[in-house]
Amino acid sequence: MAKPKVVDTSFEAVDLTPGTYYWCACGESKKQPFCDGAHKGTEFTPRKLEVTEASRVKLCQCKQTKSASGLCDGSHNSL
């Protein structure tokens, strides 16, 4: 199993409006923390994040989160 590229050893806090977003799981996207399709041809797939109301979220940048939507779960603390 391939390992994703660690972008940062912390999270990125972003303000999002309602909508559907795709979090980059491979670490290769040029539009971090969101997917730009760079995973094509790999075993990685972006994770869907549904936002129902405007909010600030913390998105994983170490790419080790167990969250189904890419939200930070603190995994960067063990790197």
Check if the beta carbon of residue 13 is closer than 8 Å to that of residue 57: yes
Q: Tell me which residue of 79, 47, 50 sits closest to 64, measured CA to CA.
A: 79
Q: Is the sign of the CA dihedral 59, 65, 69, 70 positive or negative? A: positive
How high is the pLDDT of residue 20?
Answer: 98
How high is the pLDDT of residue 1?
Answer: 80
How high is the pLDDT of residue 56?
Answer: 98
How high is the pLDDT of residue 41?
Answer: 95
**22-71 pLDDT per residue, tens:** 999 999 999 999 999 999 999 999 999 999 999 999 999 999 999 999 99
Q: Report the predicted TM-score, pTM, of the whole model to 2 decimal places.
A: 0.94
